[in-house]
């Protein structure tokens, strides 16, 4: 992985808000969205000049989306744009945006104008605990869990203000076709039931995060849909607010029924990572012990039957002609292999943890690229907090970052390769 630092290109003042917007073939909606964001964010930040920034990510568009982004970044110094070499997916696009986000609060939203920028102040109120309005979950008499321990993310509980770290939007009334709404509702029910993080709309792309949360998350594949789950697994407080959802004005949806199967597979992966990432033997070994135990009990039963039929009258039991005998042997072998696989997984986790500690020491130690005196501070927009995260995208062009250029467009380069 190669990164040019950009330390001289970034403004010295850290913005309060960063709006990260991945887009693919959304040329017709960008100008309207940008104008509304500038207006809303300016009011939310008391019209301070550099109090917010907007980061567009072009995820392999084939229309004029990138040209529109470059145009907007040229008109407004607070607007930046990143172009990926091809379509890497929403998680990779968000990861690219997070790597340059400098705001204390980071928003994500779609570029299709279905998310309403006017909701941003309500997200900020929810994060700070200032809102008197109950969450969407509270309005139905239930509360979304903020952590595996089941702590409620309600803004006010027993007269005590509770601040949130992640706020997810809930599109109670959706203006999408059925083939997009149905898989989403099934997926949301599965995620809430399996992970215990009970949000109505895990799929909603309109979310707000404290920057510290994103520094601990590693996005790739389709994991962007599980950011609240991953955050809750680390103890961050997660909640939701009901948001307005508009019909799509331009373009067409990129999702449908096909993502349900992928989502279920991703859910299995997330369940393993959040509950058993540091103790895989407890999951794999437990299944192995159950299988081994059942196989052993079956063989003991067959052995007893074999002895009894030999001592008594009647036909003798021949084990080789009994199907259950082979099933028991397979169960014992499977159980032993699961226990062995669990032990190997524990060894891998242990080695990985030791490597991570070494990397953190290298990152923070004397003379490291992120050490004091290096000129690169956490939160400076150089992705120092995310330096060793998985990189699943490649950037071809950027705009709005400074004085140097890449590919003839933009002024400073960031390169990330697989």
Question: What six digits make up the tokens of 237?
Answer: 């407080």
Give mean pLDDT in consecutive 10-residue pieces for the chain, a chain of 418 residues. 41 80 92 93 77 93 93 92 91 90 93 91 87 42 38 42 85 76 82 88 91 84 85 91 81 61 78 80 90 94 86 77 90 94 86 66 47 40 43 81 50 41
In contact, 124 and 163? CB cutoff 8 Å: no
Half-sphere exposure of 102 (CA within 13 A, CB side): 23
In contact, 102 and 192? CB cutoff 8 Å: no
Q: What is the pLDDT of residues 250-298, one digit of tens each?
A: 666 655 556 667 777 878 888 887 778 778 888 888 999 999 999 999 9
Other residues' Cβ atoms within 10 Å of the Cβ of residue 163 = 14
372/294 Cα distance (integer angstroms): 59
Other residues' Cβ atoms within 10 Å of the Cβ of residue 3 = 17
> What is each CA distance from 366 to 120, 161, 233, in whole angstroms?
41, 41, 32
In contact, 175 and 247? CB cutoff 8 Å: yes
Residue owning tokens 């939160």: 379
pLDDT of residue 349: 79
Nearest Cα residue to 120 out of 244, 300, 1:
244
Question: What six digits make up the tokens of 189?
Answer: 């029910």
Question: What six digits make up the tokens of 253?
Answer: 């949806």
Architecture per CATH, 17-276: Alpha-Beta Complex (3.90)
Which spans in 3-161 are helix H? 30-44, 65-75, 90-100, 120-128, 136-139
pLDDT of residue 264: 78
**Stretch (H or E) spanning 161:** strand 160-161
């Amino acid at each position: 992985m190669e990164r040019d630092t950009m330390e001289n290109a970034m403004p010295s003042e850290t913005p309060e808000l960063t709006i990260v917007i991945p887009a693919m073939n959304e040329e017709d909606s960008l100008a309207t969205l940008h104008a509304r964001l500038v207006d809303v964010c300016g009011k939310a930040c008391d019209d301070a000049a550099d109090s917010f920034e907007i980061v567009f990510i072009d995820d392999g568009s084939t229309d004029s989306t990138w040209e529109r982004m470059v145009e907007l970044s040229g008109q407004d110094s607070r607007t930046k744009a990143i172009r990926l070499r091809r379509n890497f997916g929403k998680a990779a696009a968000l990861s690219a945006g997070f790597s340059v986000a400098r705001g204390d609060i980071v928003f994500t939203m779609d570029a299709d104008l279905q998310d309403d920028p006017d909701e941003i102040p309500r997200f900020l109120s929810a994060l700070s605990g200032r809102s008197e309005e109950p969450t969407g979950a509270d309005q139905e008499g239930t509360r979304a869990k903020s952590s595996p321990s089941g702590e409620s993310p309600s803004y006010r509980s027993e007269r005590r203000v509770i601040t949130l770290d992640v706020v997810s939007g809930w599109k109670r009334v959706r203006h999408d076709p059925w083939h997009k709404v149905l898989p989403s509702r099934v997926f949301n029910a599965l995620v809430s039931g399996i992970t215990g993080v009970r949000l109505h709309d895990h799929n909603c792309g309109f979310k707000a995060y404290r920057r510290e949360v994103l520094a601990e998350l590693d996005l790739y594949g389709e994991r962007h849909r599980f950011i609240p789950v991953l955050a809750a697994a680390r103890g961050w407080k997660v909640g939701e607010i009901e948001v307005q959802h508009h019909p799509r004005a331009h373009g067409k949806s990129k999702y449908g029924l096909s993502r349900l199967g992928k989502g279920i597979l991703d859910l299995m992966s997330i369940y393993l990572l959040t509950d058993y990432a540091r103790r895989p033997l407890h999951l794999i070994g437990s299944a192995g012990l159950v299988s081994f135990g059942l196989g052993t009990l079956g063989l003991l039963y067959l052995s007893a039957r074999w002895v009894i039929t030999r001592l008594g009258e009647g036909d003798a039991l021949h084990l080789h002609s009994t199907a259950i005998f082979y099933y028991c042997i397979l169960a014992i072998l499977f159980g032993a292999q699961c226990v062995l696989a669990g032990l190997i997984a524990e060894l891998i986790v242990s080695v990985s943890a030791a490597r991570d500690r070494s990397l953190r020491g290298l990152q923070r130690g004397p003379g490291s690229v992120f050490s004091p005196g290096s000129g690169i501070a956490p939160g400076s927009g150089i992705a120092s907090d995310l330096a060793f995260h998985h990189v699943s995208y490649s950037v071809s062009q950027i705009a709005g970052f400074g004085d140097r250029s890449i590919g003839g467009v933009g002024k400073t380069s960031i390169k990330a390769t697989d």
